[in-house]
Structure 1
Amino acid sequence: MKSIVAKGLFNSHPYIEYRKIVTDLLSEGKSTGNEQSESLTNYSKLNEARMNRLEKTISISDEVATKLQNLDNHYIWLVLSEGWCGDAAQILPILNKMALASNKKIDLRIAFRDENDELMSHYLTNGGRAIPKIIVICKEAGIVRADWGPRPKGASELMAKHKIEVGPIDEKIKTDLQLWYLADKGISVQEELLEIMENIKYNRL
């Protein structure tokens, strides 16, 4: 497992570089990932606009920033993602802001899911390759401490309810999910990840 994570890290990118790769592919009319289609490219374009907006509007509270800066160890957040993923577009800008606010306690790295199939297979959600998936690695120990994803609890509950009541993912649930993220303003992601990091801090493995 350690070698699989190491391979994922080797194949990963800083946030700015990840954004550039997605943007450059869009300029060629392509999306990231093994599958190429007009719909995936259109989703990538929409996500590009969302991320540009979120980078300007998302803020990290002073309380969250202070707690991140006070973590005992240094960590890598290795995130499995793709440019067409709507949840990733909502979450990655928050992760970037948290990493920047952590005073170098957190190093954010992003790996493309389809380029890291073996790693993805170890972090399935209910048997599926759902993304984004965050793998929390302690730099000092060199081991995985936790993982999180693909979306905050409230968003997951919204999706689960839709699947029970309606069935397959449709445009309505995509819109409802977008509205949920807009109303939440990135707070749930911050709180859930901070809880994970503090549990690592106080429950040493």
Structure 2
Amino acid sequence: MESLSHPVTHLIFEKGFTYPEFVKFTELLVQENRTTGANQSPAYLDYTRMSLQRMNRWNKTAKVSPEMEKLIQYIIEPQKWLIINEAWCGDGAQSIPYIAKLAELNPLIELRIIMRDEYPEIMDEYLTNGARSIPKMVAFTGDLKCELFTWGPKPKYLLDRYKEYKHDSKGLPYKEFQEEVHLWYARNKNKDLEEELYPLIKSTLIS
């Protein structure tokens, strides 16, 4: 674990939303018929409404396995988990509620959510294949001096599936492809997400 140069400061972290604050903020956006970022199109307003519904559903149904819960309890040094997202992000709505449940299991973990388009200098440190893909999770030591791990923007199965679709859609309309993606999330129930986060979190433990 080495000290890294990154643009995340304590001030930026503290200005981020806690997860409950982010849910309430998204509720307000839906009530006011707007979203985050420059794109205020009807499609993005609809994405935001869907994201709120998905977060509320996962808030009630997402479950952490006993193995993961035990691992989280082994964290004995403060960690700060930063998530880069936007209110309209469908993948964020599918994954962040589970990540928030992990953070709730140990008071040494602080979770904050910032908006991608408000902090381009941070987003550009955590690109995926050169793209500003979200959500992106970055874990730091409590003093923010060392980066522990990154994850995102989606489970590997979907990253591969998107790559396949981009290479050859096989005539499947993008809307139907998106429906397939969100059906996968519903059926997978965060299983792949947990399997990917487990070794990353385990790597931060002091042996």
TM-score (norm: length of structure 1)? 0.91
Aligned to 2:154: 151
Say whether the 8 Å CA contact 1:134–1:149 is kept in structure 2.
yes
CA distance in structure 2 between the aligned counterparts of 1:21 and 1:169, rounded to whole angstroms:
32
1:24 and 1:151 map into 2 onto residues whose CA distance is: 26
Deviation at 1:100, TM superposition (A): 1.1
Q: Is the 8 A contact 1:73 1:140 kept in 2?
A: no
Give yes or no for contact 1:29–1:41 (8 Å, CA) kept in 2: yes
Could you report, residue by residue, the CA deviation over 1:146-202 in whole angstroms, capped at 9, with x for unpaired residues?
211000111211111111111898112201111111111011112211210112326
Q: Return the offset for 1:74.
A: 2.0
Task: Report 1:1-205 matches (<5 A).
Answer: 2=5, 4-6=7-9, 8-101=12-105, 103-140=106-143, 142-166=145-169, 170-201=174-205
Residue segments in structure 2 that go unaligned for 5+ positions in a row: none
Q: Is the 8 A contact 1:81 1:133 kept in 2?
A: yes
CA contact (8 A) 1:30 1:36 kept: yes
**Do the aligned partners of residues 44 and 62 (structure 1) sit closer, same or farther apart at CA in structure 2, a change above 3 Å counting?**
same
| CA-atom RMSD in angstroms | 2.0
Q: Distance in 1 between matches of 2:46 and 2:191?
A: 27
Q: Which amino acid aligns with 1:71?
A: I
Question: Is the 8 Å Cα contact of residues 68 and 105 (structure 1) preserved in structure 2?
Answer: no
Return the TM-score normalized by structure 2: 0.90
- Greater share of residues in helix: 1
Contact 2:80 2:144 in 1 (8 A): no
* 1:11 alignment partner AA: K
Question: Any idea what SS the aligned residue of 2:7 has?
Answer: helix
Q: Percent identity, aligned pairs only?
A: 32
